[in-house]
């Protein structure tokens, strides 16, 4: 069995709150320096930078999970990941269809740009990406799973935009592949405060909006090799595989 450091919650400059230095090229370079083996690209309500970063990261030996950090209609942030381009593109269509029709104001929220390998701007996204979908937690979960994806409510201990802040506690029967915790708690402390998380695998990631934040909180995956199927197995703790949260200095 091998051990892989995964930072599964990383924003690019496409997210309005993502620093303009969070270009695909910089993210890949920094991730390599920080010893990250698996990178999850999760912009707010968009999957647009995933494929390019996956292509660039593979050359440096980094495995990329493409997805998005979705905002449900309850204002709950959830990480989503997909195995291939077809599923990711289907989900992108779903996001575009269901995201609130509100225009971004870059002076307030920041720029939302898609760039290429050379950091040239290809497109500026007009709709405000930090708005919410008109879809509930349960609807987003069902959609993600219908596409064979992974559904992981983000930073569930945070006092805003989290499963627990918006819904009070983890709903019984929630079909999540894992629950992500922020750096403000530990798996042990969270399980003590919210016993209902006991049955779930916990992950931790940096939620990086700036390059310096990359890899400061990681999930160490113990599994055979790096693939979508192995990640799924590790999250389900199957056949001796597993995941644990590890905080690291900057």
The binding site for another protein (CB under 8 A) comprises 74, 136-138, 159, 164-169, 171
User: Shortest Cβ distance from residue 137 to another protein (Å)?
Assistant: 7
| Closest CB to another protein among residues 57, 137 | 137
Checking phi first, is residue 45 left (phi over 0); if not, alpha (psi -120 to 50) or beta? left
User: Shortest Cβ distance from residue 188 to another protein (Å)?
Assistant: 21
143-156 burial string, b = 16+ CB within 10 Å, else e? Answer: bbeebebbbbbbbb
Per the CB < 8 A criterion, the answer to whether 50 and 77 are in contact is no
| Closest CB to another protein among residues 62, 156 | 156
User: Shortest Cβ distance from residue 185 to another protein (Å)?
Assistant: 15
| Closest CB to another protein among residues 148, 159 | 159
| Closest CB to another protein among residues 30, 161 | 161
Longest dimension (CA), the chain: 51
Per the CB < 8 A criterion, the answer to whether 209 and 15 are in contact is yes
Per the CB < 8 A criterion, the answer to whether 37 and 26 are in contact is no
User: Shortest Cβ distance from residue 145 to another protein (Å)?
Assistant: 18
CB atoms under 10 Å from CB of 105, counted, come to: 10
| Closest CB to another protein among residues 102, 229 | 102
User: Shortest Cβ distance from residue 168 to another protein (Å)?
Assistant: 3
CB atoms under 10 Å from CB of 185, counted, come to: 20
| Closest CB to another protein among residues 39, 132 | 132
Q: Indicate the DSSP class of residue 245.
A: E
Residues 6 or more apart from 132 whose CB is under 8 A from it?
Answer: 71, 72, 73, 75, 99, 100
User: Shortest Cβ distance from residue 207 to another protein (Å)?
Assistant: 20
């Amino acid at each position: 069995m091998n051990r892989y450091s995964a930072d599964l919650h990383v924003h690019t400059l496409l997210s309005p709150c993502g620093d303009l230095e969070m270009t695909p090229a910089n993210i890949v370079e920094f991730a390599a320096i920080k010893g990250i083996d698996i990178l999850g690209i999760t912009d707010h309500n968009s999957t647009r930078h995933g494929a390019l970063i996956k292509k660039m990261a593979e050359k440096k030996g980094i495995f990329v999970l493409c997805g998005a950090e979705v905002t449900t209609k309850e204002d709950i942030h959830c990480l989503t990941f997909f195995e291939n381009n077809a599923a990711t593109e289907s989900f992108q269509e779903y996001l575009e269809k269901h995201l609130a029709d509100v225009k971004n104001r870059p002076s307030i929220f920041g720029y939302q740009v898609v760039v290429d390998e050379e950091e040239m701007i290809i497109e500026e996204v007009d709709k405000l990406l930090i708005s919410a979908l008109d879809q509930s937690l349960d609807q987003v979960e069902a959609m993600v799973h219908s596409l064979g994806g992974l559904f992981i409510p983000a930073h569930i201990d945070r006092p805003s935009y989290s499963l627990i802040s918006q819904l009070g506690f983890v709903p019984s029967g929630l079909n999540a592949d894992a629950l992500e915790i922020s750096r403000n708690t530990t798996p042990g402390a969270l399980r003590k405060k919210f016993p209902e998380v006991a049955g779930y695998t916990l992950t931790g990631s940096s939620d990086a909006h700036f390059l310096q934040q990359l890899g400061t909180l990681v999930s160490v995956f113990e599994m055979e090799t790096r693939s979508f199927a192995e990640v799924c197995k590790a999250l389900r703790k199957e056949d001796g595989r597993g995941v644990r949260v590890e905080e690291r200095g900057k």
